[in-house]
Amino acid sequence: MTLLEVLVVMAVLGLVTAVVLPALVVPPTEPAGIGQVVRRARGLAIARAQTLRLTVAPDGRWVVRDDAFAIDSGAITAPGRIELWFSPAGHCRLASALPASWTAWDVTQCRATERAS
């Protein structure tokens, strides 16, 4: 076996490892929070190519709906009542007052800036 053959085999093994390894790593699970629900609702709006509304009740129950139907729902620990609108392009707009624990809403990042404790 020549040095060139060894290098080719090493390169192929490196490529296979780079492709297969991410599939074997289990991502850490985070508890469902407002960020995860916002990402989910935004993804649904993009995938469905329609405007969707996310409403989170003060008790943490949330629902994603279009004009007529509920598409997804669940429960989280909520900072307060929140209503967000998501466009088919993934833009998001806060349609309710800011919860007390938030200082601002970043439309470009689709996330809140939380007050320092």
In percent, the amount of the chain with pLDDT more than 70 equals: 91
| Secondary structure element (H or E) that encloses residue 6, with its range | helix 3-24
**What average pLDDT does range 25-36 have in this prediction?**
68
Q: Does the predicted TM-score (pTM) go above 0.75?
A: no
In percent, the amount of the chain with pLDDT more than 90 equals: 38
CA distance 49 to 85: 13
Judge whether 51 lies within some domain: yes
Q: Which residues make Cβ contacts (< 8 Å) with residue 18, sequence separation at least 6?
A: none
Number of domains in the chain: 1
**How high is the pLDDT of residue 117?**
58
Q: Which domain holds residue 69?
A: 34-114
**How high is the pLDDT of residue 53?**
95
Judge whether 16 lies within some domain: no
Judge whether 23 lies within some domain: no
Judge whether 3 lies within some domain: no
Judge whether 29 lies within some domain: no
CA distance 101 to 117: 9
Judge whether 52 lies within some domain: yes
Q: Which residues make Cβ contacts (< 8 Å) with residue 58, sequence separation at least 6?
A: 78, 80, 81
Report whether 49 contacts 69 (CB < 8 A): no
Is pLDDT of 96 > 70? yes
